[in-house]
Amino acid sequence: MVQAKIIDGKKVAEEIQTGVIQRIEKLKERGMTPGLTVIIVGEDPASQVYVRMKARDCEKVGIDENTIELPEDTPEKELLDLIRKLNNNSECHGILVQMPVPKQINPDNVIQTIDPSKDVDGLHPENVGKLVTGQPGFIPCTPFGVLKMLEYYDIKADGKDVVVVGRSNLVGKPIANLLYQKTASGNATVTICHTHTKDLAQYTRRADILIVAAGAPHSITADMIKHHATVIDVGISRVDTPETKKGYKLIGDVDFENAQKVAGYITPVPGGVGPMTRAMLLHNTVWSAEQKVTT
């Protein structure tokens, strides 16, 4: 029986953070401290947790983090005006608006208002275009983190069959683009599956690298995975467990307990992709500051 090697996102993230700290020290020697502003609209509990974690990470590495909390009923114009003000603030190198935003605010308008040179989430159309055409720009944090994990564990995509389950702008589309490009980390043959894919298992079973970002808990079972495949589980869902102390547990899109008996490498949930997403946000913020120094 195969027992998969665990891809330890926490370990890789810590190494990235160490590199970020060193880069920040060099920037400070040149009189610059990277600055990140996080805007949160409303009081969504999960968003509040994510924002606190980001603030803690920034403090740990030496990034000046500023969290701006706006009420649930904030008009879209007020939020966009705030973003424009931050666009012109030379001490702010990264702008992140925590999603989701309340229904009166169009998230596309928010993303397009952020200065592309401060778009540390990598979602502005200009940065998306750069990613697709292979030009330097911000890469969305989660796909970037997945790429770095594969590199760290020396898992080559070159010539491999990669199947991505999920087609979101945040994960599915960018990771597919990154892995099929003619680069050292790419050169894979990539298939994207989604809710209208018929017989999903026929695709997932042929994947040398399976990346799942569907947001559907335990939708990928062991019998859908090729033996010795690398399985990257991006999904995370909260499931109530009244019998436990916390009252809930976090699970992924992959049935980890059984999948690890088939896969060659696999990410856990939590402790896999999550820490990497936050680490790459730090990287992107510092990279933004570095571009300001060199221009």
Q: For residue range 148-175, what is the model confidence (pLDDT) as tens digits?
A: 999 999 999 999 999 999 999 999 999 9
Contact 259/4 with Cβ under 8 angstroms?
yes
Contact 276/12 with Cβ under 8 angstroms?
yes
The model's pLDDT over 13-56, given as tens digits with 9 standing for 90+, comes to: 999 999 999 999 999 999 999 999 999 999 988 889 899 999 99
**pLDDT at position 74:** 98
Distance CA 51, CA 39 (A): 9
**pLDDT at position 295:** 58
Distance CA 244, CA 240 (A): 9
Percentage of the chain surpassing pLDDT 70? Answer: 99
Neighbours of 279 (CB within 10 A): 26
**pLDDT at position 245:** 80
How many CA atoms, within 13 angstroms, populate the side-chain half-sphere of residue 95? 25
Distance CA 168, CA 171 (A): 6
What is the mean predicted confidence (pLDDT) over 246-267?
Answer: 94
Contact 68/38 with Cβ under 8 angstroms?
yes
Return mean pLDDT, the chain.
96
Contact 285/120 with Cβ under 8 angstroms?
yes
**pLDDT at position 218:** 95
Give whole-number Cα distances, 102 to 69, 70, 106, 186, in Å.
13, 11, 8, 37
Distance CA 37, CA 213 (A): 27
pTM above 0.85?
A: yes
The model's pLDDT over 173-204, given as tens digits with 9 standing for 90+, comes to: 999 999 999 999 999 999 999 999 999 999 99
Token look-up 């996080």 returns 38
| H runs (alpha helix) in the chain | 9-29, 45-61, 76-87, 107-113, 125-133, 141-152, 172-180, 200-204, 256-259, 273-294
Tokens (6 digits) for 168: 């979101």
**pLDDT at position 5:** 97
The model's pLDDT over 226-248, given as tens digits with 9 standing for 90+, comes to: 999 999 999 998 888 888 788 88
**pLDDT at position 293:** 83
Of 47-51, 122-126, 212-216, the range with the lowest mean pLDDT is 47-51
Catalytic residues: 54, 98, 121
- Which residues lie below 8 Å from residue 206, measured CB to CB, with a gap of 6+? 161, 163, 226
Residue 294 has pLDDT above 80, yes or no: no
Cα three-residue angle 9-184-186, rounded to 5 degrees: 75
Contact 165/193 with Cβ under 8 angstroms?
yes
**pLDDT at position 83:** 98
- Give the H or E element holding residue 40: strand 35-41
User: What DSSP state is assigned to residue 220?
Assistant: B
Identify the structural domains of the chain with CATH numbers, from first to last: 32-116 (3.40.50.10860), 140-273 (3.40.50.720)
Q: What confidence tier does 1 reach under pLDDT thresholds 50, 70, 90?
A: low
